[in-house]
Each structure stands twice: as structure tokens, then as C-alpha cells.
Structure 1
Amino acid sequence: MLVIFISLSKGEYILSFQELVRSIFRYHPNSDTDLVVFEFRLPRIILAILVGFGLGIAGSIMQSITKNGLADPGILGINSGAGAAIVAYMFFFQGLLNINKNSLWIILTTPLIGLLGGFIAAFILFLLAKERERLDSQKLILTGIAINSGFGSLSMYMSLKMKAQDFEMATVWLNGSIYNANWLFILSILPWFILIIPLIIRKAYSLDLFQLQEPVMIGLGVKVENEKWLLLLSAVGLIGACVSVSGSIGFIGLMAPHMARLLVGLKHRNSLIVCGLLGSFFMLIADFIGRTIVAPAEISAGIILSILGAPYFVYLLVKARV
């Protein structure tokens, strides 16, 4: 709540607490204040909360399914797969998108394109990382890095073929940013959250069981492959929705699950929501820093998160070896 207040009040146009209260509760509102709050800052804050929440929960699912604490939608290439699909959508329909970029139909269909790309990346990842019908943790990370690189190169190649204006938009988007947030973007991803997150919370017990070996899970009557693919599809759905409005945001899905487990323990019924809240917290802070540190210019939230997350990833890597 403190970060939300700071994000609403600080920036190029500084607002006092009284001005915010008057604008939000419609008590002697001011048109300039309303413009800053409701058109620029509030949609951005809500979008940051949703994107961080979705990526935090998706990271928890990926780490549970793979039994690997280094698993992250960005590192494993799922973000890149979703991103490449959306860049391809931009590339092949750029004329249509330029004319109707704020069209409700285009904004609502973009998450579907991201879902398709993310699922393709996840399918390739699990196919290549399997060894004797089991996921190999070391193979998983190496395969994920390769997939991430491959889809990232494909995205860059397609963006280089675009016109200058489209290339700039694609580049900013690929670095992970919510600078052009609006209420339509929020509307486009809300249905995915409403459908998927209750399902994931209902499957919290299954996620707990993924800490056991697969033969034990089968002995307990769990349909392991069915549960795995259902949860994977749910995670990819969240990732595709988030990537469609924010671009490729990394490291939230890596950091949030570790910190949530330290705060509330291993039970997913407790940790999933905390993962989401931590993800929202990180996303809000990264966006605020990126928006204000070099104002009036901006640094993408994805770049800020990479600066913060890369040392944490190295720490976890060293800790895992020890």
C-alpha cells in the first residue's frame, strides 16, 4: 500500500495526499489531477500489480513441477516463446495493428497469441528435458537457456524487419515495460486471472505432492501427467496474458517463490498468494524506479528487475552447488 501511494503521488507531476483523496473519492476533483491519476498512473499501477501477481504464481508452479529452485518462466524460455509469438503477430499484421492498436478485439486476442507461443516453448522444453519419462533438472535449465536464446533471436530478427516506428515499439516491449498501460490492457488480462487463479489455488494440494517422487505420487492415486499438464497450461496461460501487456519480464518468478517459502513455509495453499503479492511488490518497485530515476526519460521495468534478479540467480546457483 505504501508503494502504491508513492507511485501515485511521485513523478514529474507531484501530488499531495489531499489531492489524491479528493481525486479518488470525487471530493472537489481537479481535471489535471484526474488526468494524472486515472489516465496515467492508476492503470499503470494496477497493471503492474496484475503482471507481478501472475508471474509470481507462475514461477511457483514451474518450480514445483520441475522440482528445481532455479526454474523461472524467463530463464526457461517460456516468456521468450510467448514474446516471439506476439512479435510475429506484430510483424505479420503490423499495418492492421498500427491503424487499430487500441482496438478491443486486438487487445483481447493478443493474450491468446502469447498463450500459443508460451505453450509451444513449454512443450519443446519438456520434450527435450525428459530422460526416461522424468524431467532432468540440469537438462531443464540448459534446454531452457537454449530455448530462451532461440526465441529471443527470432524475436529480434522479426523486429529488425519492421518499420522504424514498429521496431522501436517492439524493442521497448521486448525489454519488458508497462509504460503504455491503459484500462483496456487491464480488461484484456482480467478474464485470464479470474479463470486460472482459482483453479491453481484449488490445485494447491497437488502442488504440495509434487515435492515427492513420482512413484509415491502415483501410489497416492495422483494422475501425475494429467496434473502436470493442467498446471503447466495454467502457468503458461498466466504468462501469456502477462507477456501480452508487459513484454518479457524476468526474475519475478524466480525470486518470489523462494521468499514466499521463507515467509510462510512450503504449503502452497499459503505460499501461492504470498508469491503473487511479492511479485506485485517487485513489479511496482521496478516500474517506479524505472519511471523516476532518469525522469523525464524511462528505464524499462524488465531492465531494473534484471539488474536486481541476476545477482540473486547467481546466489541461488552457488548455493545449489554447495
Structure 2
Amino acid sequence: MLKNSAGRYWTVLLVNFGIVLIAVYVSLTNGVFDMTVMEVLKTLLRIHPVPEHDLVIFDFRLPRIIVAALVGFGLGVAGAAIQGISRNGLADPGILGINAGAGAAIVIFMFFFEGRITGSGWLSILAMPLFGWIGGLGTAVLIYFFAWRDGRLDPQRLILVGIAAGSGLGALSLYLSLKMNPQDFEMATVWFTGSIWNANWQYITSMLPWLVILIPIIIRKSYILDLLQLGEESAKGLGVSTEKEKNILLLTSIGIVSACVSVSGNIGFVGLLAPHIAKRLVGIHHYRALPVCGTIGMLLVIVSDFIAKTVFSPVELPVGVVISIIGIPYFVYLLFKTRV
């Protein structure tokens, strides 16, 4: 079948990478302070460096682009894994309540510490993403506990518990944010809608190890995701320890999502859109779909971030708003398609 051919897979993957590189080039050279290609290359290669160009590239644009790429890749892969585990094409990392848990932890941090910890060093810089990561994982453990039933993890119960937990934590976040001072409330609102405007190299360092360790685990177990689509009984008949494998895949996905949302805020729809687009391009087999999901997620976040920071300049939209504008119509389309 052409859709599952190796040639089609490599063509799609290479084209995606090419488009991502074009998006990176456009993001590096365009903005409030435009730069030529030669100026960017000289800055990156350290040929007659100019302080102004160093500031724009290394302090503002490059960290932001790298964070966008990592977050997009991570959410795309995790979204495909969660859809595979739940066998629900409308599942999304945000549905599990992880985003809401990270958001509640961030709001608590802002409420009690006013968004910062005094002092210098990495702790003061990474305090907010660290709170978000702890909140995301803590919420995941709680949801996991309630979704466990009769010695097994129920995928449908997992989604229902995730929705309930997300609603409760969202209400808690709203309650606390209304009691903040105006400056912290504005910061919390920006984080809720998803934003990477404050990206820096420390944020990249904090999330990169999680992605480097956990994403290969999901890709290595892609055949398990294929077998789970046959149903648990069929997968067990083929020798798969379904509960053990689902636990590994779910915990790995939760770790990736927690690492991503801890630095980017509540960016939705990437984990929903990327798997559907990837499977339309290369077929339903996860060992081919997962890398394509990652590259599509990268492209979505990088392009959306560029639109967010340039189209309404000097006002900057949160990247989550731009992705939602794209994602909501597609979600409605998928909903009606599923009903049919």
C-alpha cells in the first residue's frame, strides 16, 4: 500500500524537516529587528560578532525557536502515544488533566512567591518550570490512582478522571488567580493560554534530558501501540503484557507532557492535531507515524509562535491562542467525522 511504503515515509519526513528549517530561517531573520541571512550566519559562526546581533539571536530568538521545536516534538509524540493507549482519536494530553495540574502548581507558585524566588543561580530561574513539572506529575499520579480498577488501567476511566481533575484544578487556579495582584494575574493569564516568550537556555537544559530519555522509549515500543489497536484481548493473545506496557507508555507520555508544559504553559491541540495529520500522510503504523508526529508538532508550534509575535506587533499573542484558532475547527471536524 502506497501510504505505508518506506519511500513515502522518508519523503514526508524529509519534506517536514525542510519546512521546519524554512520556518526556523524565517523566525531567525524576521521580527521587530530584521536581520539578513549573512548577519545571522556571521552571528552563529562567530565571524565579526556584533553585540546587538548576539543579543537578538542568542538571548531572544534562538532559545525561543528551540523551546518551540522541543515542545512541539514532545507534545506530538506524547499525543500519538496517548491516543494509541486509549484507542481514542480525540484524546489529547490536555484531556488527562496534566496541563491543568501544571497550571495549578504555577498559580500556587505565583500566589505565594509572586512569580520569583529571590537569589541568583539556576534555582531562581527554574523555580517556575520546576513547580509546573511537579504539578503535572503529581496530578498524573492522582489520576492514575483513580483510573486503576480491578487490577488494570481502564483507558476510558482514565480520560473521564482526567477531565474531572482538569475541571477541578482549573477552578482552583481561577480562584487563586483572582486573588493575585494585577501584575501576577497578567503573568498567570499568559501562562494559561500558552506562551514561550520568556524562553531561555536554562529552560532548554531543564526539559531536554526528559525528551532525550523518554521519546526513544515510546518509539521503541511503537509496535505495542499497533497491537493495542487490535483490542486488549487480542494483544494478550499475541503475548503482550498489556497492563505493564500501557503503564510504561502512559508514564513515559506523562513525563514528556509535564516537561513540555512546565516551560511553555498550557499549549493545547498539538497532541491532537499532529497524530491525525501524520497518520493521513504515512499510515497508521506507529513506528512511522511517531517521528512524523514530532516534526509536525515542531512545525505547528514554531509557525504559530512566529505568527503570534509578528502579525499583531508590537502586541504579542500567546502561542496557545494561535494554535487554538487552528485546532478548534479541526477538532470540530474530527468530532463530526467520528460521529459519522
Name the TM-score, length of structure 2 as normaliser: 0.86
**2:102 alignment partner, one of 82, 88, 93:** 82
Greater shift, 71-80 or 45-54, is seen at 71-80
Task: Classify 1:106/1:271 alpha carbon distance in 2 versus 1 (closer, same or farther; 3 Å).
Answer: farther
Task: Classify 1:113/1:219 alpha carbon distance in 2 versus 1 (closer, same or farther; 3 Å).
Answer: farther
* Paired residue total: 319
Between the aligned partners of 1:254 and 1:93, the Cα distance in structure 2 is: 34
**1:16 alignment partner, one of 15, 36, 39:** 36
**1:34 alignment partner, one of 50, 54, 61:** 54
List per-residue Cα deviations over 1:107-133 (Å, max 9, x = no partner): 556555444433444455566667875
Between the aligned partners of 1:294 and 1:111, the Cα distance in structure 2 is: 27
- Map of 1:202-213 to 2, 5 A cutoff? 202-213=220-231
Corresponding position of 2:168: 150
Task: Classify 1:170/1:267 alpha carbon distance in 2 versus 1 (closer, same or farther; 3 Å).
Answer: same
Corresponding position of 2:13: none
Which secondary structure state, in structure 1, belongs to the residue aligned with residue 235 of structure 2?
helix
Task: Classify 1:271/1:48 alpha carbon distance in 2 versus 1 (closer, same or farther; 3 Å).
Answer: same
Return the offset for 1:318. 0.3
Check whether the contact 1:43–1:181 (CA below 8 A) recurs between aligned residues: yes
Between the aligned partners of 2:107 and 2:268, the Cα distance in structure 1 is: 17
RMSD: 2.3
- For residue 24 of structure 2, what is the amino acid of its counterpart? I
Identity over aligned pairs, percent: 53
Corresponding position of 2:118: 99
Corresponding position of 2:211: 193
Corresponding position of 1:252: 270
Return the offset for 1:83. 1.9
Corresponding position of 1:7: 27
2:196 is the alignment partner of 1:178: yes
Between the aligned partners of 1:111 and 1:61, the Cα distance in structure 2 is: 24
List per-residue Cα deviations over 1:159-188 (Å, max 9, x = no partner): 223333222222211110000111111111
- Map of 1:287-306 to 2, 5 A cutoff? 287-306=305-324
- Map of 1:224-303 to 2, 5 A cutoff? 224-303=242-321
Return the offset for 1:105. 2.8
Task: Classify 1:116/1:226 alpha carbon distance in 2 versus 1 (closer, same or farther; 3 Å).
Answer: farther
Between the aligned partners of 2:240 and 2:137, the Cα distance in structure 1 is: 23
Name the TM-score, length of structure 1 as normaliser: 0.91
List per-residue Cα deviations over 1:240-267 (Å, max 9, x = no partner): 1111111100000000001111111122
Which secondary structure state, in structure 2, belongs to the residue aligned with residue 99 of structure 1?
coil
Between the aligned partners of 1:203 and 1:267, the Cα distance in structure 2 is: 12
Between the aligned partners of 1:103 and 1:52, the Cα distance in structure 2 is: 28
Between the aligned partners of 2:319 and 2:81, the Cα distance in structure 1 is: 23
Between the aligned partners of 1:317 and 1:125, the Cα distance in structure 2 is: 25
- Map of 1:214-233 to 2, 5 A cutoff? 214-233=232-251
Which secondary structure state, in structure 2, belongs to the residue aligned with residue 178 of structure 1?
coil
Between the aligned partners of 1:261 and 1:158, the Cα distance in structure 2 is: 41
- For residue 232 of structure 1, what is the amino acid of its counterpart? L
Check whether the contact 2:275–2:293 (CA below 8 A) recurs between aligned residues: yes
Corresponding position of 2:4: none
Task: Classify 1:84/1:160 alpha carbon distance in 2 versus 1 (closer, same or farther; 3 Å).
Answer: same
Corresponding position of 1:72: 92
Between the aligned partners of 1:258 and 1:278, the Cα distance in structure 2 is: 10
- For residue 31 of structure 2, what is the amino acid of its counterpart? G
2:318 is the alignment partner of 1:308: no
Between the aligned partners of 2:129 and 2:230, the Cα distance in structure 1 is: 33
Between the aligned partners of 1:126 and 1:98, the Cα distance in structure 2 is: 31
Task: Classify 1:113/1:209 alpha carbon distance in 2 versus 1 (closer, same or farther; 3 Å).
Answer: farther
Gaps spanning 5+ residues in structure 1: where? Answer: none
